[in-house]
Structure 1
């Protein structure tokens, strides 16, 4: 109706306009009147047409909107019905919480799941697992609630939880997991050797006892056994039975050990078990790698490698988290190999006046570098070699032509060295006594291997192997050599082995000083390589003139304070071995605790060689005058001082340190003093020794001002330590639980092609997690010899260790 009124109004206005216009219009003919009328009619038609068209579109839009509204009204009803069904009838638990995880609402099924009234309760009181996962910002996880498994989806933006019962799915998954095969390889270690002395009947009986024990144990876990030699047995079982073995901690180890103890034989068992959802060929490789790892760790243990789990050890003598020496040696060897493989050339150098330990180590390192097919150069200035070394090289020169061909002078080395070269420094950590200090400036890729105590000055090395507990550098290098190349044996000639053995003998003084079980293991290894011990004795034998010279020097021995022998001469002796032999001979005098040989080595250099028994620390005494060494073996070279000054200083220190009587004073140590105390410790000493420590700037008198300053310093250190500990704890939280994945190629025989180093691990960790870790602080739980999950420990300080997983996968 309104549309018609509007249309009529428009037409009336149009007619009125024409009526008012006509008096003023003048038409001269009927044609003009008709034209004007047609124009007015056309305007009216156009206007009416536009009006109806617009009106039609409006009606259509309104109709469309009315249809949609009707559809939405109907759909809303059905959606509401479905929503009500989801929230109230379907088996989906829905929980709504506030910011403090207090339950504000739960649908009926959620209340059925928890079998209690949960509205108004804190989520932590309802389900600790649900709360902890949500509090850790996990959005999808599985929880166990009253024996049922639930997939949980958490919406942190609205604090909603959706719980779906997946118990049946998880049971199927569990059953499948339990049926995954586990393949084990069992070795009876040392069986033939241990039973070799028994008669046939005793051997058969004892073998039967071992096999019966293994069979009874396997029968408990429904395992299938198949021997493939007297000492090798296959074991096949299900994963669920392997889990039971793990739970019982492989009690077979104790059973085998008991049988061996009862029969007084040294037979143990090593076992490797792998359980992965892969084909049997690959599974067999993993099991073989596991049993080899058990053997390398010393046997009498089980190594278990389960897919997506850390490698587990049972029966190992060392704690699983501790670093065994063999694992450490292997990692060091592989790290050195990695550096050498990526270098352009390899240079090997010892210290000035290199002895047989240094030269023998150079020979061993030559064979290590030879494996990597790099150009190798032994830096040797013959005038800077020990006289004994010169003598031995001259004797065996026809038998070590290959070594001699690779020897160059420092002058030649300076021309060949470049920034991509690797320089190996052996038997010293001090740039001052390196064979040539200028060589050190030509490359930053320096590797140091040494057995001396760390001094104040050292090389800026990219990698170091330093163990002051080792008897010699030969001991360290031979251990590294055993793990440097696992694919093929490194050949060392009998003459070379004999020269290395000579270095071992010289540094231990015929296995008297600083020897341990490792020392004798290396000696046995060199003997197996053909070392001639009688030849070494011949090489090191004193000639007539040397013997007479030693006796001549000993004839002037002076006994100081009843227990200290001084052999002092103003003659020039540039033979350090001779000085050491004189000190060794003087130490054999009854009641002597330490012996010192002091002579000129040149016009401006005084040499001291010191030897002692356990009562006297000659290392500390000689360090005070610029020397160093070990507790019972030390040496020093002092320039631009007189013999009398050096002897007086040494006697003064001995009297202050070991003399009796005198007033007692308190001093505050400014650095660690072996046998006396640690830095900042307050100790009581004789007045003379106290003044000596003060003069050496190793201590200050414990005055009131000094004590106040010490207390303030301790407080500052305490606060700094607390800040550091807080920082390390924070860093531990960032590292713990994380993982890195490294791929490695596996050869046809199942062995790893290459090695995983701590350098690779920390680089991958930084790449994945943006946290930089010092590779020197990373320690692997065990060597990496197979795909699997390994644990890496990071020593952040003495008390804080973080750990993360290293996943090794096949490329």
Structure 2
């Protein structure tokens, strides 16, 4: 069409040029031969008249053809819209149908010979979204399911008569119903058939076997194998035994979702295995899916099982591209009596210390006696091996104030503490940074040191959270141990037979054990008492240790007010708060939470306090309620019976309501 128009234009230009030439020749002839000149002008006039008549006739013919074509196109468009397989409807702004094609009528079930015009769209298909379509320059898409079919709705907000005034009656909503059922089913089938890798480990397998009478050990092993084979059959997967205590299971995602929906009943089945074993059977399960490759999915599963073991086992961790999800973790950990790991870690730590020129030690922010006692213990180890170390500490809180004042009085500990700024100036890639009583970067005393140093050691006993310090050169993480001070005491005890530490260091370590066991009432095992006996032999004075925890009179009044405001949920959970903004409020709420457990029939307690823009929550339990799981949902962590959280930028009322909702959710899941 364009080439024809272009050709016509060229011919017109040639005719115009011819007229001009004839005109010039005629004028020239007038001066030389008047008759010839006038004849030429007359001839030119006739030509121009004929050209104009033909041009007018062609224009009329063109317009007629265009009108015919437009009419045919209109009929064709109408016929196409009426018969197109794609359902289309035109709506008024109130949702009434003003026009629909036959495909739409068939889709909504309008009887043959009738029409959907005039009926509200909601009456035909149910409630449907017509929001966000008031911008006529925008096309909105939305998903909708109708009669088992999955549609992509394409909305277009259109003004029918562009020349009319801005009248709402001129505006219509055109809805295209694109049937994506087969595509979505194919996507779902692809997703269902994707691979899932599950790694299963029998917790403390050797210890469980040893705790079983010899004549029942083979039966116990057989029952464990049978329980695992049941999940293999249930998931229609393929299981392979890697070690005596570890298995790997491959399955499809659709089968995995079924056992996830059942909240992994295999955990309960494992605990029900009874062959007179004194230690319970439990499984740690790490699941990976959603990787771009099978290798990445396998890495997800490996990361998930590491996370489970770092959280104490007897639970499931699921990892995919979006992060972690957890199930279980409701049982207490049992103590491993072997000290082989402590010896190996101690030897490795000794070698790392001897290879280091600069050593910085830090616990978590707002350190307690467990963090500070362990830090001084590592400092004394470094000093015994002839290495200078420093503890990073900016602000002293009441929880460690008495202990730190005693340290500053001793010449032995001269220059022990340094500020954040000084530590950052000192630190380089080769500096040894020892992190104690936390594994979360954001919880450390000075997080910047972790970004500078490439040599980080972590010693912690809290259940692992999703956030943790990566790329450590040495990780000593034991969740069944009472305290970090107990772990450091074992390192001192088994690293070198001739190691000597200061009496005050021993008292600090014993103070940390006192704190986290609540005077040896919670989470104590044989190794806890052995560590305490070792520290006592080094000269630790129990009366001096008790003095570390002396409180001011006003603290008792605040604690009494907290107890007075206590509310009881479900006849077994205490929840209370304090509005007092004082520096040591985190210590007071912890003591109040301990005190509330003394109420008859109470199984768990939660106390909130505020300092600045941070709300502190201390949680305690006698073991039946897993406060770690509850605190983890609020961004905190800890253990089954002792946990806590710090929530920023919320009022204490908002945090109280959030905590209460989380507790109720936990109770409903139970």
TM-score after normalising by structure 1: 0.40
TM-score after normalising by structure 2: 0.48
Q: Which one has a bigger Cα radius of gyration?
A: 1
